[in-house]
Amino acid sequence: MWSVGHGRGSHQDLCFIHSPKPLQSLFTARNNKMLRTYKWLKMVFLVNKAGIPTDYFMISLLATISTVFGCGVMPAGQGSTRNFTVTGFTLPVAMAYSTSTAVLAQVPGIATSEAGAKGFVERLVMQTVFDVLESQGRSALLPDAVISDILSQLNVTVNYTPLECPLVRSGDGGEEILFPMERACIINDNTVTAICSVTAERSCHLVPGLPPDDEVTITPVSGPPVTISGSLSTTNIIMASWSRAMWQSVANRAIRMLASGPLGSHFFSAVAIVGGN
């Protein structure tokens, strides 16, 4: 089992400090992102219907944003972690690997190492989760700087065990009979559909209805190669309080995004389950 964790940048406290001093004096050169957020909000709300003085209005507004949008970081050692599992997808060749030069020549899209296949899955999951949350942030009209800082407080860990393919065979070979010396991956349309794991004394057949003395040992791909698990950990004040249902909504959106992307045919029937209460 392999796992890797990634977040975006360092954790930063975006919560705003209340002070009787003019609001802009609270920002220093190292708080450029906060200053940009302030200027953006001040431009939008320069004139408010209640006629409240602008700086006082902005202090109240920014205090609200720090609460509603979760700008703050949890105390050290605190946060929230949700485990997830993705199943029901078919196996693209990029998520399998081979070290055989013959296989690499036959299947250009297959990963060249176990680490390469794991890295592909890690990047795929992590980027999709971040894209979903980024899209939600933009829908809420949050500035990119604020979205970036909120996402920096999220850590995505991915566990995946890829399938090794020492040999490959085409899955559309009609009545072809295989006599592999080692495990062979049956590939059709850039998808690993089955595995033939037999010795040289036995045979694998790609079609049903064979004589009783012929041992059919083709098996569908199952188990770890078509299961992705991991966790979503956050120190963000608001995200840390999200219910399982809210994280499940994020996971569902991520699956829909995968199903509409380059690997859409593989993830069309995938299901993501987020654990917890």
Lowest mean pLDDT across 210-224, 236-250, 258-272: 210-224
Q: Which residue has the higher pLDDT, 272 or 45?
A: 272
Task: Sheet with 228-234: list strands edge to edge.
Answer: 3-6, 154-159, 228-234, 80-87, 271-274
* Cβ pair 92, 190 in contact under 8 A: yes
* Cβ pair 137, 154 in contact under 8 A: no
The pLDDT of residue 32 is 53
Query: For residue range 185-207, what is the model confidence (pLDDT) as tens digits?
Result: 989 889 999 888 765 556 666 65
The pLDDT of residue 199 is 54
The pLDDT of residue 217 is 64
Q: How confident is the model at residue 22 (pLDDT cuts 50, 70, 90)?
A: very low
Percent of the chain with pLDDT over 90: 43
Q: Where are the beta strands (DSSP E) in 13-92?
A: 80-87, 91-92
- The Cα 160–Cα 115 span in angstroms is 10
Q: Is the pLDDT of residue 85 over 80?
A: yes
Q: Average of pLDDT values for 218-229?
A: 91
How many alpha carbons fall within 13 Å on the CB side of residue 203?
14
Q: Chain-wide mean pLDDT for the chain?
A: 74
Q: Average of pLDDT values for 1-22?
A: 38
Query: For residue range 107-143, what is the model confidence (pLDDT) as tens digits?
Result: 999 999 999 999 999 999 999 999 999 998 888 888 8
Q: What are phi and psi of 54, to 5 degrees?
A: -55, -50
The pLDDT of residue 79 is 80
The pLDDT of residue 26 is 34
Q: Is the pLDDT of residue 244 over 80?
A: yes
Tokens of residue 102, six digits? 């013959």
- The Cα 253–Cα 259 span in angstroms is 10
Q: Is the pLDDT of residue 208 over 70?
A: no
The pLDDT of residue 12 is 36
- The Cα 125–Cα 190 span in angstroms is 20
